[in-house]
Structure 1
Amino acid sequence: MGKARRVSVSAGNYYHTKETDSIYLKSDEQYNVSLPSLNGKIEGKVNQYYIIKEIDSGSYGRVYLVYDEIINKYFACKMISKSRLKRNFRLSRLARRRNITGEEEEQYDPEEHLLQIKKEVAILKNLTKHPNIVLLVEVLNDTREDNIYLVFELCEKGKLMDIQINKKAEPYTEEKARKYFRDVVLGLEYCHFKKIIHRDIKPDNILVTADDNIKISDFGISYIFNEDQEDATISNKNASPLYLPPEACSSDVPYMKGKAMDIWSLGVTLYALVHGYCPFEDADVINLYKKIENDPVVYSPTISEDLKDLLSKLLQKDPEKRITIQEIKRHPWVTEHDTNPMLSTEENCIYEDITDEEIENSIQPGFMFVSKVNIKYIFFYSFLIKTNNILKY
Structure 2
Amino acid sequence: MDVRGRMLKETLDAKVTEAEGGERRLNHYVIKRVLGSGSFGIVHLALDTDSNTLVAIKEFSKTKLRKQQAMKNGGIYGAFRGRGRGRGRGAAPGAAAANGGHAALAAAKSDNPIDLVRGEIAILKKLNHNNVVKLFEVLDDPNQDSLFMVFELCEKGALMDISLERSAQPLPTDLSRQYFQEILLGIEYLHEHDIAHRDIKPDNMLISKDGTLKIVDFGVSEIFTREIGTVNKSAGSPAFYAPEMCVARHGDLSAKLLDIWAIGVTLYCMSFGRLPFNGRSMLDLYESIRSQEPQYPPGIDPRLKDLLEKLLAKNPDDRITMDQLRVHPWVTDNGRLPMVSKEQNCESLVTEITQSDVDAAVVQVRSLFTVLKAVSKLKNLGRAPGSSGDLFPA
Q: TM-score range by the shorter chain?
A: 0.7 to 0.9
Deviation at 1:54, TM superposition (A): 1.9
Separation in 2, partners of 1:282, 1:345: 38
Unmatched 5+ stretches in structure 2: 71-107, 366-394
1:321 is aligned, of 294, 318, 323, to 318
In the alignment of these two chains, the number of paired residues is 326
8 A contact 2:138–2:148 mirrored in 1: yes
1:63 is aligned, of 43, 57, 82, to 43
Partner of 2:125: 125
The answer on 1:26 being equivalent to 2:26 is no
Unmatched 5+ stretches in structure 1: 1-10, 33-41, 94-107, 367-393
Deviation at 1:239, TM superposition (A): 1.9
Separation in 2, partners of 1:190, 1:162: 25
Separation in 2, partners of 1:337, 1:318: 27
Separation in 2, partners of 1:363, 1:58: 23
Separation in 1, partners of 2:240, 2:331: 21
Deviation at 1:215, TM superposition (A): 0.8
Partner of 2:286: 289
Counterpart secondary structure, 1:165: coil
Cα 1:243–1:123 shift into 2, 3 Å: farther
Q: Which moves more between the two structures, 129-138 or 299-308?
A: 299-308
The two structures, once aligned, show a CA RMSD in angstroms of 3.0
The answer on 1:49 being equivalent to 2:29 is yes
Deviation at 1:225, TM superposition (A): 2.2
Partner of 2:4: 13
Deviation at 1:191, TM superposition (A): 0.7
Separation in 2, partners of 1:67, 1:302: 48
Cα 1:70–1:92 shift into 2, 3 Å: closer
Separation in 2, partners of 1:176, 1:91: 36
Q: Which residue identity is paired with 1:13?
A: R
Partner of 1:155: 154
Show CA shifts across 1:122-152 (max 9, x none): 342132x111110112223354666532111
Partner of 1:362: 361
Separation in 2, partners of 1:189, 1:90: 28
Compute the TM-score of the two structures, normalised by the length of structure 2. Answer: 0.74
Partner of 2:246: 249
Cα 1:311–1:356 shift into 2, 3 Å: farther
Within-5 A mapping of 1:221-240: 221-227=220-226, 229=227, 232-240=229-237
Cα 1:69–1:355 shift into 2, 3 Å: closer
Show CA shifts across 1:12-71 (max 9, x none): 6355643323113334x7845xxxxxxxxx6x3322222222223355332111112343
Separation in 2, partners of 1:320, 1:14: 42
Counterpart secondary structure, 2:125: helix
* Percent of paired sites with the same residue: 38
Compute the TM-score of the two structures, normalised by the length of structure 1. Answer: 0.74
Separation in 2, partners of 1:81, 1:262: 24
Partner of 1:352: 350
Deviation at 1:75, TM superposition (A): 0.8
Deviation at 1:194, TM superposition (A): 1.1
Partner of 2:276: 279
Show CA shifts across 1:282-306 (max 9, x none): 2521111111001111122353111
Separation in 1, partners of 2:110, 2:21: 36
Within-5 A mapping of 1:74-89: 74-80=54-60, 82=62, 85=63, 89=66
Deviation at 1:356, TM superposition (A): 10
Partner of 2:138: 139
Partner of 1:35: none
Q: Which has the higher contact order (CA 8 A, sep 6+)?
A: 2
Cα 1:13–1:90 shift into 2, 3 Å: closer
Q: Which residue identity is paired with 2:114?
A: L
Q: Which residue identity is paired with 2:253?
A: M
Show CA shifts across 1:245-281 (max 9, x none): 0001112531111111000000001111111121112
8 A contact 1:21–1:142 mirrored in 2: no
Q: Which residue identity is paired with 1:233?
A: T
Cα 1:90–1:13 shift into 2, 3 Å: closer
1:261 is aligned, of 258, 264, 270, to 258
